[in-house]
């Protein structure tokens, strides 16, 4: 299935029908809420203190609703008019701004205590128009974002990178703009649960938050490998002559037709005919 960002520019792809479908899909809402809650957790905001946050690619305000529930005020930016119209219909409490992230953030310096973004960053890696240069647009976005965040703030981006080149592209432009930080990958060994979060810091280098699902997965992998090695002790190497003879003997005990053993059993073929 083609990725949404390859089908059309975001302002075209998220038309009225697509925007409404996205907002009314219960599975999509659950995923969006879970990722937003995780993004806020990675922001490491002060406890019991309301903050002013920026929601980048806010869409119809699903992620903004999570910020509201946690007691924060927010400003949302999105390029899709249809998405913002639905956010207004839903009567979200955040202020909404129609804007292209690639053209930079139009806010005053140090205005926000943090920023979150759910499923939006990968769109900036595309050139939807002849005038679009992903490297320049990403740098413009990150440099203006850096300016409008306070010097103790973090920005957390959940995104779907298409390949390692996109990861390198976004992280390099973020660091060039003045940010510290890096990638946090939750459930790295899971196909469905794996999630990428780019965690950026303005106030200097600090340890990255711990990814979810790492310890458990590593423990299981280590245990299963150890058990496998135990079982293999004393057994003939797979596809060796002894292993083949054992297998043939088992088949005979089961009453299955089996070729007779010869001096050629288990011998490697030369490959020449």
| pLDDT tens by residue, 54-90 | 999 999 999 999 999 999 999 999 999 999 999 999 9
Q: What is the pLDDT of residue 264?
A: 81
193-206 pLDDT, tens digit each: 999 999 999 988 88
Question: Count of CB atoms within 10 A of residue 30's CB?
Answer: 10
Q: What is the pLDDT of residue 219?
A: 40
Q: What percent of the chain has pLDDT over 90?
A: 59
Where do the domains of the chain lie? Answer: 4-213
Give the span between the Cα atoms of 59 and 79, in whole angstroms: 8
Q: What is the pLDDT of residue 252?
A: 84
* Mean pLDDT, the chain, integer: 87
Distances (CA, A) of 202 to 31, 37, 92: 28, 21, 28
Q: Which CATH architecture has domain 4-213?
A: 3-Layer(aba) Sandwich (3.40)
Residue 184 pLDDT > 80 = yes
Pick 226 or 193 by higher pLDDT.
Answer: 193
CB 53 within 8 A of CB 74: yes
């Amino acid at each position: 299935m083609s990725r949404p960002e390859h089908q059309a520019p975001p302002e075209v792809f998220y038309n009225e029908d697509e925007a409404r479908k996205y907002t009314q899909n219960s599975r999509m809402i659950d995923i969006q809420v879970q990722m937003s809650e995780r993004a806020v957790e990675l922001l490491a905001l002060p406890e019991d203190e309301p903050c002013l946050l920026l929601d980048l690619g806010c869409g119809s305000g699903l992620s903004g609703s999570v910020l509201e529930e946690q007691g924060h005020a927010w400003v949302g930016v999105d390029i899709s008019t249809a998405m913002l119209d639905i956010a207004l219909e839903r009567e979200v409490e955040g202020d909404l701004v129609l804007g292209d992230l690639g053209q930079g953030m139009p806010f005053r310096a140090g205005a926000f205590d943090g920023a979150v973004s759910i499923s939006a960053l990968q769109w900036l890696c595309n050139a939807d128009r002849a005038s679009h240069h992903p490297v320049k647009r990403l740098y413009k976005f990150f440099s203006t974002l850096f300016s409008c965040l306070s010097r103790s703030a973090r920005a957390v981006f959940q995104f779907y990178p298409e390949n390692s080149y996109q990861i390198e592209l976004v992280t390099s432009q973020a660091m060039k703009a003045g940010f510290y930080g890096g990638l946090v990958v939750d459930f790295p060994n899971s196909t469905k649960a794996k999630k990428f979060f780019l965690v950026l810091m303005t106030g200097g280098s600090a340890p990255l938050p711990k990814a979810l699902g790492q310890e458990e997965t590593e423990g299981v992998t280590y245990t299963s490998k150890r058990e496998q090695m135990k079982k293999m002790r004393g057994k003939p190497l797979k596809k060796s002559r002894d292993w083949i003879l054992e297998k043939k003997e088992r088949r005979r005990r089961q009453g299955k037709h089996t070729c007779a053993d010869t001096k050629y059993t288990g011998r490697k073929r030369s490959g020449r005919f």
